[in-house]
Amino acid sequence: MLVAAIMTVSCSINDDTSVISMDDLTESSVHLRGIICKTLPDSLTTTFIICDSVVVSQRHYHEGDHVLGLTYINDTSFLWFGQYGIEEDRMMNSLVTRCENRVLLYDIVKEKITVIDVSTGIDNPSIISYDTGLSTQYVLPVTMRKGLFLAHESFKGKRRRVRTTGDEYQPDRHNVGRYDAFNVVLGELACSNVRNRSVFADRVDSKVEILDTDGKLLKRIMFISQGDKERQQYSKDESEGVTYYTFLGSVKQSFTDVCCNDSTIALLYRPGLITPSSVSISDHPYVVLMDWDGNVRATYVMDDEFDRISITSDGRCLFCFSSREGGNSVMRYDLTE
């Protein structure tokens, strides 16, 4: 059995933090207009572009269906990987992430990882699978055998739980759910092996952290806005020695995706109401480009709504995945200087 090298990313380190006004960035942002370069079936969900031309798409769960499809932007046929099901060799659910030329499928229930490397083409990929023995809801394939895990102690302490209300955070049939805090995903990860750097984008605090690939914090940047004063997060209370956290409403602004190449970090910023179960957009999203020292290089306001973004290796264009009625689209945006 192959064992992954495990690194956890935590955001509790106290240090000096740089502060950037998101209002100033959005006010000076450049408008971008994209073109549809590929249309995908409704059955496909999370979509990325890797190696500048390989489209990676996850399929919605359906017993017996394949999990992941790979194709080229200018192609119509897919190569399929993995199957959904309860059998030993199938997946009960799947998280799909990407790093450079690798795609990772993580079965959260079975705690099993499959990494696919397409650097030699999608017709002849390198594939490796192994059990992790860890519970997390975000892991990045730094290499074929090394994973960067989002720390699952979102709220530290063995006797702490998250209490959910309303339609937020996967409620049970009684409309109130309680489960371990590590089930809450609070951000997105990306990394560059050439830079020996990783980046964590916080969904709750509009915070970005740049780390080395061993998880050591190098720089933290807070993006603040006038709307932050309206932000609701959570309250806590004690019951029988257990601390419960109750999430209150929604987050007004959030980074909902991050990607990178060896020179640039690209952040997808959503100014609308963000909840784990739904997104109500009040404006078009923004893409913020930073270098690996945490300096903002450009900010763009997009002409459509997106779930995921990918930046090409030369930094000249963005590919954005847009989910819309009648078909999902991959949009291409040429970046201006």
Which is more confident, 260 or 88? 260
Pick from 130, 94, 91: which is nearest to 113 by CA?
130
For residues 31 and 234, which has the higher predicted lDDT (pLDDT)?
31
Question: Picking from 123-127, 181-185, 313-317, which range would have the lowest pLDDT averaged per residue?
Answer: 181-185
Does the pLDDT value for residue 151 go beyond 70? no
pTM of the predicted model, to two decimals? Answer: 0.78
CATH number, domain containing residue 43: 2.120.10
For residue 280, name the pLDDT band (cuts at 50, 70, 90).
very low
- Give the pLDDT of residue 5: 40
- What is the domain range of residue 114? 5-334
Max avg pLDDT among 26-30, 85-89, 144-148, 164-168:
26-30
- 139 contacts 150 by C-beta, under 8 angstroms: yes
The confidence score (pLDDT) of residue 234 equals 57
Give the bridge partners for 5, in sequence order: 146
Residue 251 forms beta bridges with which residues?
Answer: 274
Identify any residues that bridge with 299 across adjacent strands, giving them in sequence order: 288
**Amino acid (1-letter code) at residue 149:** F
Kindly report, residue by residue over 135-148, the tens digit of the pLDDT. Answer: 676 788 888 888 88
CA nearest neighbour of 316 among 302, 301, 299, 334: 334
**Which residue has better confidence, 275 or 90?**
90
Q: What is the mean pLDDT of residues 198-220?
A: 84
Residue 182 has pLDDT above 90, yes or no: no
Higher pLDDT, 7 or 123: 123
Give the pair of three-digit tokens for residue 50: 């890797």
- Other C-beta atoms within 10 Å of 226: how many? 10
Predicted pLDDT of residue 175: 36
Q: Which residues contact 130 (CB under 8 A, 6 or more apart)?
A: 1, 2, 3, 4, 112, 113
Distance CA 309, CA 304 (A): 12
Question: Torsions phi, psi of 182, nearest 5?
Answer: -70, -10
Please state, in angstroms and as integers, the Cα–Cα distance from residue 160 to each residue in 94, 219, 237, 319, following that order: 26, 29, 10, 40
Say whether 46 sits in a helix, a strand or coil.
Answer: strand
Burial class of residue 200, CB neighbours in 10 A (0-12, 13-18, 19+): buried
Q: How many CB atoms sit inside 10 A of residue 108's CB? A: 17
**pLDDT value at position 14?**
46
Highest mean pLDDT among 14-18, 62-66, 80-84, 232-236: 80-84
Give the per-residue pLDDT at 260: 95
DSSP 161: E
pLDDT in tens, 236-260: 667 666 666 555 554 556 788 999 9
pLDDT over 60 at 291, yes or no: yes
pLDDT at 318: 93
**Beta bridge pairs of residue 243:** 160, 238
Give residue 331's region: left, alpha or beta (phi > 0; psi -120 to 50).
beta
What is the domain count for the chain?
Answer: 1
Q: What contacts 317, CB < 8 A, 6 or more positions away?
A: 311, 332, 333, 334, 335
Q: Give the type of residue at 65.
A: D
Helices (H) and strands (E) in the chain, counts: 1, 31
Residue 22: in which H helix or E strand, if any? Answer: helix 22-27
Stretch 2-8: mean pLDDT: 38
> Which of 303, 307, 305 lies closest to 333 in space, CA to CA?
303
Backbone angles phi, psi at 26, to 5 degrees: -70, -35
Whether the predicted pLDDT of 200 surpasses 80? yes
Higher per-residue pLDDT: 94 or 226: 94
pLDDT band at 186 (very low <50, low <70, confident <90, very high): low
Rg (the chain; Cα; Å): 19
The average confidence (pLDDT) of the chain is: 75
Per-residue pLDDT at 273: 52
pLDDT higher than 50, residue 39: yes
Neighbouring C-beta atoms of residue 3, cutoff 10 Å: 10
Three-state SS at 151: coil
